[in-house]
Amino acid sequence: MSLTRYEPWSLHRALLNEFTRALDANSQDASTGATADWTPSVDIAEYADKFVLSADIPGVDPASVEVTLENGVLTLSGSREKAVEAAGVERRRIERATGRFFRRFALPDTIDGESVSASGKHGVLEIVIPKRPASQPRRINVTH
């Protein structure tokens, strides 16, 4: 006996994703999903002195991800290859997308573009984007 997880909205979600992809294909913006097969989930945190962007890219070598910063736009791109088919598999369910991914983020002009760093660990790419010292809040003492 095998158990199958009941997901009543999975077909609806897949249809919505395909519809969105079709609409994006008509867009002229290069940052849309039309240029990618899948999109990694990303968390962005802002601190007083930096931004930290964490992108989920399991199965992707962090060294193979292209991270660029040009004219205030941070771009992540790369690909996840399809798993090699094992012999003797009778059925297969594939939920992890493969192929190219592409994400772009417009950054504020307060960042220090020369000090951006990236590292990958446990399937998460972490990009640290420092703010320029001049843009950090400064406490002003009030005298009396």
Q: Exposed (0-12), middle (13-18) or buried (19+): which is 35, by Cβ within 10 Å?
A: middle
With cut-offs at 50, 70 and 90, classify the pLDDT of residue 29: very low
Average per-residue pLDDT in the chain? 84
- Report the candidate in 33, 6, 7 with the shortest Cα–Cα distance to residue 18: 33
Q: Nearest 5°: CA angle at 100, between 98 and 104?
A: 130
Fold entry, domain 32-83+98-135: Immunoglobulin-like (2.60.40)
pLDDT score of 32: 47
pLDDT band at 70 (very low <50, low <70, confident <90, very high): very high
Per-residue pLDDT reduced to its tens digit, 79-97: 998 878 788 888 888 888 8
Give residues with Cβ within 8 angstroms of 82, minimum separation 6. 98, 99
Residue 58 is inside which H or E element, if any? Answer: none
pLDDT at 25: 54
Q: What is the pLDDT of residue 85?
A: 79
- This prediction has a pTM of 0.67
SS3 10: helix
Predicted pLDDT at 114 = 93
